[in-house]
């Protein structure tokens, strides 16, 4: 899932300066699961903003709505009938959702309420960790299911840097990804796989040269 966290109240207030009626839109997807932008968080943020602005002597009216997803046009279109008299949309989705709203409603000012952090998972309630760097060419088959691109601080692809101490990374107080890879490969009796040298990774499939696109002719409906 995409993991995100709330922006500071100050930053949100600043982006709502001069707005008197705001449509606060939550998302029922990833940000609901990571407790950043679901229906509950939308309610809390809207209430916080209303109280704050009232005490600032500049009351704010809010309309709250939580869509099933903000990254699908059919859900986003449901907002069309709520836009009357609205000065701005405050979106609690990830960056994709915010952009989608802006694209679907070209006449409406849209601002984000969250900072989008990473693709990760819930390790325990209240703790999320990054697991994939969306590199476009997955190497997990060679590394025993531990991602060296995102879990190694240097994204090394052919073994550790040499700075690993007692299983800990020398850069951050995390576990060394290559220690994890080695442990797992030995437990599964496949250490010899690590002797294979990985050639240069094709980073053109990653964040390079603008936004990536994926086309599947077999599932297209028109054309």
Partner 1 sequence: MEKRESGKTESFYPKIIAFCCYYCAYSAADLAGSLRLQYPPAVRMIEQPCSGKVDIRLLLQAFEDGADGVYVAGCMEGDCHFLKGNIRAKKRVNAAKKILDKVGVGGERLEMFNLSGSMGPRFAEIANEMTERILRLGPNPLNTARAERATKGEEGDPK
Secondary structure of residue 90 in the 3-state scheme: strand
Per-residue CA distances from 167 to 106, 127, 151 (Å) = 51, 21, 13
Query: Is position 149 an interface residue for ligand SF4 (rule: CB under 6 A)?
Result: yes
Query: Is position 50 an interface residue for partner 1 (rule: CB under 8 A)?
Result: yes
Query: Is position 187 an interface residue for partner 1 (rule: CB under 8 A)?
Result: no
* 177 Cβ neighbours under 8 A, 6+ residues apart: 146, 147, 148, 151, 152, 169
Q: Residue from 1, 20, 28, 43 that binds partner 1 (CB under 8 A)?
A: 43
Q: Residue from 132, 191, 193, 198 that binds ligand SF4 (CB under 6 A)?
A: 132
Binding mask 53-82 for partner 1 (x = CB under 8 A): -xx-x-------------------------
Q: Residue from 14, 21, 51, 212 that binds partner 1 (CB under 8 A)?
A: 51
**Cβ distance to partner 1 smaller for residue 64 or 150:** 64
Question: 132 pairs with which residues across the strands?
Answer: 119
Query: Is position 48 an interface residue for partner 1 (rule: CB under 8 A)?
Result: yes
Site for partner 1 in 6-25 (CB under 8 A): 9
Helix (H) or strand (E) segment spanning residue 115: strand 114-124
| Upper half-sphere CA count for residue 104 (Cβ side, 13 Å) | 20
Piece in contact with ligand SF4 (CB under 6 A), picked from 10-18, 58-66, 68-76, 167-175:
167-175
Query: Is position 170 an interface residue for ligand SF4 (rule: CB under 6 A)?
Result: yes
Quote the least distance from Cβ 144 to ligand SF4, whole Å. Answer: 12
Ordered DSSP codes for 117-139? EEEEEEEETTEEEEEE---SS--
- Beta carbons of 32 and 74 less than 8 angstroms apart: no
Identify the sign of the CA torsion 209, 215, 221, 223: positive
Q: Taking CB within 5 to 8 Å according to partner kind, which of partner 1, ligand SF4, none is near residue 14?
A: none
- Beta carbons of 90 and 22 less than 8 angstroms apart: yes
- Looking only at the bridges linking them, the beta strands covering 2-6 and 114-124 are antiparallel
Q: Residue from 14, 21, 47, 202 that binds partner 1 (CB under 8 A)?
A: 47
Query: Is position 52 an interface residue for partner 1 (rule: CB under 8 A)?
Result: yes
C-alpha to C-alpha distance for 107 and 93, rounded to whole angstroms = 19
Query: Is position 111 an interface residue for ligand SF4 (rule: CB under 6 A)?
Result: no
Interface positions with ligand SF4 (CB under 6 A): 132-135, 138-140, 147, 149-150, 152-154, 156, 160-161, 163-164, 169-171, 176-178
Interface positions with partner 1 (CB under 8 A): 9, 40, 43-44, 47-48, 50-52, 54-55, 57
């Amino acid at each position: 899932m995409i993991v995100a966290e709330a922006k500071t109240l100050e930053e949100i207030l600043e982006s709502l300066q001069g707005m008197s009626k705001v449509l606060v839109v939550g998302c029922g997807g990833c940000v609901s699961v990571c407790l950043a932008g679901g229906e509950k968080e939308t309610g809390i943020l809207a209430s916080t903003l209303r109280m704050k602005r009232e005490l600032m002597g500049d009351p704010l009216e809010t309309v709250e709505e939580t869509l099933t997803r903000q990254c699908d046009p059919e859900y986003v279109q449901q907002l069309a009938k709520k836009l009357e008299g609205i000065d701005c949309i405050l979106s609690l989705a990830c960056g994709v959702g915010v952009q989608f709203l802006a694209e679907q409603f070209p006449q409406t000012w849209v601002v984000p309420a969250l900072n989008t952090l990473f693709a990760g998972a819930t390790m325990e309630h209240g703790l999320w960790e990054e697991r994939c760097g969306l590199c476009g060419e997955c190497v997990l088959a060679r590394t025993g299911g531990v991602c060296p691109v995102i879990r190694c601080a240097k994204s090394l692809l052919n073994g550790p840097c040499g700075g690993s101490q007692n299983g800990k990374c020398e850069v951050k107080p995390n576990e060394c990804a290559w220690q994890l890879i080695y442990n797992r490969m030995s437990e599964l009796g496949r250490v010899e796989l690590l002797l294979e040298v990985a050639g240069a990774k094709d980073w053109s499939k990653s964040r390079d040269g603008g936004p990536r696109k994926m086309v599947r002719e077999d599932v297209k409906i028109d054309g």
